[in-house]
Chains A and B, each alone.
Chain A
Amino acid sequence: MRTKPSSCHGWWAAEPMTRLAPLIYRRIGGLVRDLFSESEPASHVVINPTHSIRRLSRDRLQAYIETLSPRKRGLRCRSGTDRPADAGPTDSASAANDLSEDAEARARRLLLRMLSPAQRAQFQGYGFFCVDVPMRNAFCVLPRHVFNVLDLWTGDHYCCTAGAILPLSDVMLTQKLLLENDPQQFFSVANRRPAPNLLVRRSGRGALA
């Protein structure tokens, strides 16, 4: 039998953890079991003040499981044992990857065919190409989906992409065609991000000349 030592105000702290751990694990296990139990005794509702909290947690967990996205459901289906027996060696995810790779390869071939010789050399060497825009500066089309059009004179970035889902090379081709042949439309819809001004202070003390 445990007794409180006279010299110790916190005798629980003196209790060895090896004896407390099973109690804690048993308590946590009971909470988890209650959380997933379908039926609960009526007396449990009355005497347990944490019942509503646990029921709320269980309802939220169940709602989360039921509203899993199709992607998560697909992952769960593939990783589990409920995979259809007649499924072939290539599932839908890998087929989608193959399709996107094919689309990108096709779009890249078209882009290479549409670029001028100088642009093609730039693109094959560095992954980007530059476009001379009539009545404006030269712009660089970078290989990424957002804010990938760089004004080489001001350093501003522009973002104007297709409203449909396109491979990256198709996006770059769209921007090239618009910049060269219809820049008004490009700049009327593009969002501009000013260049980060790291070296030059526009005003105040310490402004560089």
Chain B
Amino acid sequence: MKMLRVLDSSGDRAISFDNSQESAAARVAAQDLFERLLANGSVAFKVHRTNGAPDEKVTEFSALENETIVVPRVVGG
């Protein structure tokens, strides 16, 4: 099971999906959201990776692992 967390004003919004047929709709929705957010300037990071691998920036939906956090576009304050 993979999880996509999108940071927003409510804290975060989580979408869970996997490669099974049952969660095909959730996977399509997650992919659509992921690509739309990245196109708008958001940045995604793979976190809590297997075998204790360090966090990593990700740009491809197919490369998502256990948990991914999408942060909004950042601006200079």
A114-B47, A177-B71, A181-B57 known; A159+B11 contact, CB < 8 A: no
A162-B71, A163-B41, A178-B71 known; A147+B77 contact, CB < 8 A: yes
Q: Within 8 Å of chain B (Cβ to Cβ): is A83?
A: no
Q: Is the interface on chain B under 10, 10 to 19, 20 to 34, or 35 or more residues?
A: 20 to 34
- A174, B71: Cβ atoms closer than 8 Å: yes
- B69, A162: Cβ atoms closer than 8 Å: no
- B72, A166: Cβ atoms closer than 8 Å: yes
**Chain B contact residues: over half helix, strand or loop, or mixed?**
strand
A-B contact count (CB 8 A): 94
Kindly supply a per-residue 1/0 record for chain B positions 39-77, scoring 1 wherever the CB is within 8 Å of any chain A CB and 0 otherwise. 001010101000000111100000000000101111111
> CA A104 – CA B7 in complex, angstroms?
12
Q: Which of A81-114 contact B (CB under 8 A)?
A: 99, 102-107, 110, 114
Q: Is the interface on chain A under 10, 10 to 19, 20 to 34, or 35 or more residues?
A: 20 to 34
> CA A170 – CA B56 in complex, angstroms?
18
Q: How far is the CB of A208 from chain B (nearest CB, A)?
A: 32
3 closest residue pairs by CB, A with B: A106-B11, A159-B77, A164-B72
Query: Which A residues are closer than 8 A to B by beta carbons?
Result: 99, 102-107, 110, 114, 145-147, 159-167, 170, 173-174, 177-178, 180-182, 185-186, 189-191
Extra 8 A-B pairs, beta carbons < 8 Å, given A163-B74, A166-B72, A177-B43: A160-B75, A162-B73, A163-B75, A164-B7, A174-B74, A177-B69, A181-B56, A182-B43
Query: Which B residues are closer than 8 A to A by beta carbons?
Result: 5, 7-12, 41, 43, 45, 47, 54-57, 69, 71-77
A selection of 21 A-B contacts at a CB cut-off of 8 Å is A103-B9, A105-B11, A106-B12, A110-B5, A159-B77, A160-B76, A161-B74, A162-B73, A164-B9, A166-B8, A170-B11, A173-B7, A173-B71, A174-B72, A177-B71, A180-B54, A181-B54, A181-B57, A185-B43, A185-B74, A190-B77
